[in-house]
Amino acid sequence: MDWGIQNRMAQLIQPDGHCFFLAMDHGYFLGPTNKLEQPGEMVRPLMPYVDALFVTRGVLRATIDAAASKPIVLRVSGGVSIVGNALENEGITTSIREVIRLNASAVGLSVFIGSDYERQNLLNLAQLVNECEDYGIPVMAVTAVGKEMEKRDARYLSLCCRIAAELGARAVKTYWCEDFEQVTESCPVPVVIAGGPKCETLLEVVEFVYDGLQRGAIGVNLGRNVWQDAHPVAAARALHAVIHEQATPQQAYDLYLSVKNGD
Ligand code: 5RP
């Protein structure tokens, strides 16, 4: 691996081998998502606990303080919306010059494998890898399922992750599922856990994150389960404990309760 790409990966993956990326890119197809209406305000108190932000160029430029930020994983796919007729019909939205200008540490794009747009998505990934590798910028593929949440099982997700890695992704973000080791063990690049819709309790979140880490994930790229929580700082603090401080789910949840209660 060239020095540049190694250096960017090291900005994102901490010396303990783990990472906590905060996903805040949802507006690129959802518009003003609940609790993400003011992204700059939302993220400020969470900065001490996260390792990187997953964000579009528009929100980055307009709302994130360049002097007090974290490494950036730039969302570079899009072109569709929740009110359109095919969430899977994404293209690449951001040029490599822009990625470099914004000093991104990595880029991320979605692939909807098994959809009508599979070939287009996968060729987008391959093209992005071709361009980014020239400049030492890692590409993270996001194995997206759109509205078909029932697709999230080990057989499907391991197929998606492996294909993304084969096409050159340096990391893959995918959903947690039962038997998650089937996904990580057949994927030759690091796997990061995505979030999905908000869980009922923070305990459920730290449980699936803990399980995913035990089964080979290197960390998370979570959004709604952090900033849609009634106590986002406590949620981020608890996730940091599981990811970087070897806390068990119960220890992390107890920490969440004590931070939320102001102890
Ligand atoms: C949207 C994304 C999000 O970054 C991803 O889904 C993580 O956010 P959440 O934890 O809210 O699901 O890739 O396409």
In the chain, the percentage of residues whose pLDDT exceeds 70 is: 99
Number of other CB atoms surrounding residue 182 within 10 Å: 18
Digit-coded pLDDT (tens) for 212-244: 999 999 999 999 999 999 999 999 999 999 999
Q: What angle do CA 95, 96, 99 make, to 5 degrees?
A: 95
DSSP for 9-66, please give it: HHHHS-TTS-EEEEE--THHHHSS-TT-SSHHHHHGGGGGG-SEEEE-HHHHHHHS-T
Amino acid at 190: P
Res. 99: pLDDT tops 90: yes
Nearest to 191 by CA among 223, 229, 228, 164: 164
Amino acid 186: pLDDT: 98
Res. 17: pLDDT tops 80: yes
Amino acid 197: pLDDT: 81
Q: Are 52 and 45 in contact (CB under 8 A)?
A: no
Amino acid 196: pLDDT: 78
> How much distance in Å is there from the Cα of 174 to the middle of ligand 1?
10
Bridge-partner residues for 140, per DSSP? 108, 171
Residue nearest to atom 4 of ligand 1 (CA): 23
Kindly state if the Cβ of 224 falls inside 6 Å of ligand 1.
Answer: yes
Res. 124: pLDDT tops 70: yes
Q: Which atom of ligand 1 is nearest to the CA of 25?
A: 4
Q: Are 107 and 139 in contact (CB under 8 A)?
A: yes
Number of other CB atoms surrounding residue 136 within 10 Å: 16
Digit-coded pLDDT (tens) for 53-80: 999 999 999 999 999 889 999 999 999 9
Q: Are 207 and 249 in contact (CB under 8 A)?
A: yes
Crossing angle of helices 232-244 and 202-214, rounded to 10°:
20
Kindly state if the Cβ of 142 falls inside 6 Å of ligand 1.
Answer: yes
Going by pLDDT thresholds of 50, 70 and 90, the confidence category of residue 263 is low
Amino acid 159: pLDDT: 97
**Beta-strand relationship, 171-175 and 139-143:** parallel
Digit-coded pLDDT (tens) for 37-55: 999 999 999 999 999 999 9
Where in the sequence numbering do the catalytic residues fall?
173
Digit-coded pLDDT (tens) for 149-163: 777 899 999 999 999
Digit-coded pLDDT (tens) for 153-207: 999 999 999 999 999 999 999 999 999 999 999 999 999 999 878 899 999 999 9
Kindly state if the Cβ of 144 falls inside 6 Å of ligand 1.
Answer: yes
Please provide the average confidence, as pLDDT, over all residues in the chain: 96
Tokens 């399922």 appear where? 145
Q: Are 96 and 135 in contact (CB under 8 A)?
A: yes
> How much distance in Å is there from the Cα of 263 to the middle of ligand 1?
31
Crossing angle of helices 249-260 and 232-244, rounded to 10°:
150
- The region that residue 146 occupies, defined by phi over 0 for left and psi between -120 and 50 for alpha, beta otherwise, is left
Res. 1: pLDDT tops 90: no
pTM of the model: 0.96
Which domains are seen in the chain, by residue range? Answer: 3-198+217-224 (3.20.20.70)
- What's the token pair of residue 3? 């020095």
Amino acid 262: pLDDT: 84
